[in-house]
Structure 1
């Protein structure tokens, strides 16, 4: 060991807030250098933990320091800190180091601002002053932790982004670091990922496609931006895209403008280990920033994600990938290719039959399926065009009326009149003071309940109007598929949920938006205004 040779330990946490200037690494270093010079101590080494909390002792520089003092031929036998809080804010942990570990290793510990030097400390200093200092630091750490959590909770509930790094495809606004804006360099990549999923690519195939095109993975891209990124995107082969990173993007609602935060939390202010929170406790706020893709595309892509999409070795996507199911056992159908006279014939069979022989073949040729589906599509588009024309005749500002609201409003007015007449009845000795108070209480309660009921029904009425508007937009979107001579991949996944194949080759097509279609069809078939009002009133009550 070398007498009077020391190291300085410096630490700064992002939680130090307003005191960061006085506790800066430079300030700590200069103070320790001045102290060492005045006390004839030679500084031979420096350990710095910048950005690490004092409530945990799992810090890289502190670990290196502990490794050094454990050596027989260590370079120093003195540790100097600016104050005890720089070493640690955990009462028990700091006390263990200073009162047990350092003395056992014959290490001298100096805390300048606390006027503490273990070489000159007597029993009262060691056993009384240090625990008090440690307790104060521990309380400070707990207080800081609670304030940070409270602030973060408020920001989450307002839809403000509080992550260290913006999600891939976004960046933090320069004007407001809690606001996400689209990274235009990445916008088209996000769109292409969802587009490939809709086309029938597996997540692995999408990752391979991006790697072949030389597109940087989220981790590599952020590193090139100068960010020390350690996020959740698992990369392979030195930072390439993987199926897992593709899945994380497709599942992330941030791409439709929705903020979903608070998925995990630390155990407490001392233990920084992250634990998953119940989904019911996640904080979800919609319309917090610009979405890159539509909700329709997002939900369909996630539906495809849950299905077993297959790709050929040539990375070609199949028209019906993830869409065909056995009508009897509901298992997905698998694609099979047979070569006959130098021609390839594609057909589909039940996967359960293919693996276990426990169902039947349910075999269907691709060309036959396309022909049948073309006819079904033609009828579907004609039906929706007629439905759209009928919906156009409904004036939602006049026809979507909950007549019960007017009845409740009149009942409320009558109750208010009775309430107003109570005082006159009391003055004229028609009722007693006790009766006055009882009647007044009852009338006020009735008015409160009526107000709540009226407000509830008004909201339901507006929701019914909004539902018609939204579905009208959806009907307009369907029109773009009229120009197709036969269904393509995009029209199939956007309009169809699944296609069921029977053993005798009968086909049942389950279209998307079935509830919306039923709602609009019922509205359209309500010819008379009175009937329409009655229908919507029912929708308001029970919708």
Structure 2
């Protein structure tokens, strides 16, 4: 008696959830085996998995069992070859493995002879199945792209922090959009806050520290599992949270990113404001191992990763002497490669150079007069965003009035006794549209309710004094975090120090202090430009600044 295994598969989750196709396939195969007098040993089913890939758990388990030394069955039954595979190369590859193990593959709806013409027909059928699958995928992809262009969500699981709701019903199709899942959204906000500001006892946290913090407080993802660092990194990089989700970014088959012009932007409810999201991306980029050695990120040396020798452009490293009694920033080229590696190597006492840089930033950059023009520019930008939100709100309210009139007209039709299924369907569609418009109005009104920062002269004086105090006497972690924010590069020579930094970062720091976020530091774009005064400073390029500090009074190390 021949021992057989049954394999059934459906491609879509809708078919799998309906639980129709797989039971039908199995029952037909069982009847076929019974008619032949064969014994069914096992059955394997893959639900909602494409036949264009061999990454199917039950398929792989079946193949492993088939070629195992125990060889529990003699043949595999499938409803049709398309259930087995829709990729010709995969089909031929696995059939050879089965053939070598003496296991036969039989389709109960397609009979092929065992001669050359039968093998040819089997290959032609497999090729046709692959072609048909590709054509179907092309049409499905086209419809999904159009669905995204219309602003709807395409079927997959929504990102952590969101859930879906039915925005419109078109025939049997429920068109869905994203809405905020309140509990998950609070966890997302916490993750971003810890990455930028920390928990109030230290500076900004790294991803590993965030994982330890939120897991220790029993926060869990939607599957009830703890957060891995890889999951947290994806959350921090997900653009959806700032209001725009991009569909069609990657090819589902290869996993490669598509050209930017093929991406489809879909509006999403904002969980993280765009400024905060951009600040996080800048910090992630700055701390990337591809751009910055991880030891520099965690290094407690105040100017780690920032200071460079102007003579050769290489970084400064710490050199110690007398059992760590003497500590110097010294040219790495000279230290590691010898004197000939740098024409003008520098070596300065650590404490002296640290204090010089901190004093310069504290006293010269955080000067109230110097910051007023910078803050005005930032406020103008915030005002323009609110102007756009007001325009969007007006448009949405016009759309709401139009929908209300349409709903009133449809209700009048029904009240007059002219009921019809199409009228009732149109009324439901209009009511769903109204609900969606009201959601968007709520989002815009919340944006407008956010205060536009205004600083009096007295407030600005207090803020600058608070930041100066933190830079001079605050904990090392906070001082280093401020430098990471404000300073992009410190070029040191025997006669001067050149400091570059970010004007957006300055504004973010000032507003954080106004909000009362003690010691919090926002990382942002590194292109600050200080205002010119009677002591004109040379500016290297638009959007960036050069602060020159004379250091002739410093005692040089031999």
Task: Choose which of 106, 111, 130 in structure 2 pairs with 1:138.
Answer: 130
Q: 1:216 to 1:143 in 2, by over 3 A?
A: farther
Alignment pair present for 1:225 and 2:210: no
Q: Is the 8 A contact 1:109 1:117 kept in 2?
A: no
Paired residue secondary structure (2:73): coil
The structure-2 alpha-carbon separation of the partners of 1:154 and 1:366, relative to structure 1 and needing over 3 Å to count, comes to farther
Is the Cα–Cα contact under 8 Å of residues 161 and 180 in structure 1 kept in the other structure?
A: no
8 Å CA contact 1:8–1:46 kept in 2: the answer is yes
Match of 1:62 among 59, 68, 74: 59
TM-score by length of 1: 0.57
Q: Distance in 1 between matches of 2:93 and 2:305?
A: 60
How many Å apart are 1:43 and its aligned residue? Answer: 0.9
**Taking structure 1 as reference, are residues 289 and 152 closer, same or farther at Cα in structure 2, changes over 3 Å only?**
farther
Residues 318, 257 of structure 1: CA spacing in aligned structure 2 closer, same or farther, 3 A cutoff? farther
Q: 1:187 aligns with which of 186, 189, 192?
A: 189
CA RMSD of aligned residues (A): 5.3
Is residue 383 from structure 1 mapped to residue 369 from structure 2 by the alignment? Answer: yes
Structure 2: state its 5+ residue gaps: 167-175, 384-451, 472-478, 505-525, 534-558
Q: Deviations over 1:5-57 (max 9, x none)?
A: 2211122223x756874754333223333443454332111223334321234
Q: Deviations over 1:398-435 (max 9, x none)?
A: xxxxxxxxxxxxxxxxxxxxxxxxxxxxxxxxxxxxxx
> Partners in 1 of 2:455 and 2:177 — Cα distance?
37
Q: Deviations over 1:424-455 (max 9, x none)?
A: xxxxxxxxxxxxxxxxxxxxxxxxxxxxxxxx
Mapped partners of 2:60, 2:306: distance in 1: 55
Alignment size in residue pairs: 411
Distance 1:495 1:478, change over 3 A: farther
- 1:49 and 2:46 matched: yes
In structure 1, C-alpha distance between the alignment counterparts of 2:498 and 2:197, rounded to whole Å? 26
Paired residue for 1:355? Answer: 336
User: CA, structure 1 residues 318+382, in 2 after alignment: closer, same or farther (shift >3 Å)?
Assistant: same
Does the residue aligned with 2:468 lie in a helix, a strand or coil? coil
User: In structure 1, which of residues 507, 513, 523 is the aligned counterpart of residue 497 of structure 2?
Assistant: 507
Distance 1:240 1:46 in 2: 35
User: Does the 8 Å CA contact 1:325/1:501 hold for their aligned counterparts?
Assistant: yes
Counterparts of 1:97-496 in structure 2 under 5 Å?
109-112=105-108, 114=109, 116-117=110-111, 126=118, 130=122, 133-154=125-146, 170-175=160-165, 179=178, 181=180, 183-195=185-197, 206=206, 209=209, 215=215, 225=224, 241=229, 253=239, 256-257=242-243, 259=245, 264-265=250-251, 272-275=253-256, 289-291=270-272, 293-305=276-288, 306-308=291-293, 310=295, 317-336=300-319, 347-357=328-338, 358-359=341-342, 360-367=345-352, 369-371=354-356, 373-380=358-365, 381-387=367-373, 480-486=463-469, 487=471, 488-496=479-487
Partners of 2:72 and 2:19 in 1: how far apart?
29
Cα 1:90–1:248 shift into 2, 3 Å: closer
Residue 11 (structure 1) aligns with: 9
SS at match of 1:329: coil
Q: Distance in 2 between matches of 1:103 and 1:12?
A: 25
Task: State the Cα distance separating 1:160 from its structure 2 match.
Answer: 7.0
SS at match of 1:353: helix
In 2: Cα distance, 1:255 partner to 1:372 partner: 37
Following the alignment from structure 2 to structure 1, what is the Cα–Cα distance between the partners of residues 326 and 454?
36
Distance in 2 between residues matched to 1:102 and 1:389, nearest whole Å: 72
Give the Cα–Cα distance (whole angstroms) in 2 for the partners of residues 296 and 103 of structure 1: 58
CA–CA separation in structure 2 for the residues paired with 1:347 and 1:366: 8
Contact 1:265 1:274 in 2 (8 A): yes
User: How far is 1:475 from its partner?
Assistant: 9.0
Greater Cα offset, 138-147 or 183-192? 183-192
Residues 243 and 270, structure 2, Cα contact 8 Å, conserved in 1: yes
2:77 to 72, 76, 80: 80
The 3-state SS of whatever aligns with 1:79 is strand
Cα distance change, pair 383–309 in 1 and its aligned pair in 2 (3 A): farther
Conservation of the 8 A alpha-carbon contact between 1:501 and 1:508: yes
Pick closer, same or farther for the CA change 1:254–1:299 going to 2, 3 Å: farther
Residue 144 of structure 1: how far off its partner (Å): 2.3
Structure 2-normalised TM-score? 0.56
Matched position secondary structure for 1:485: helix
- Pick the structure with greater CA Rg: 1
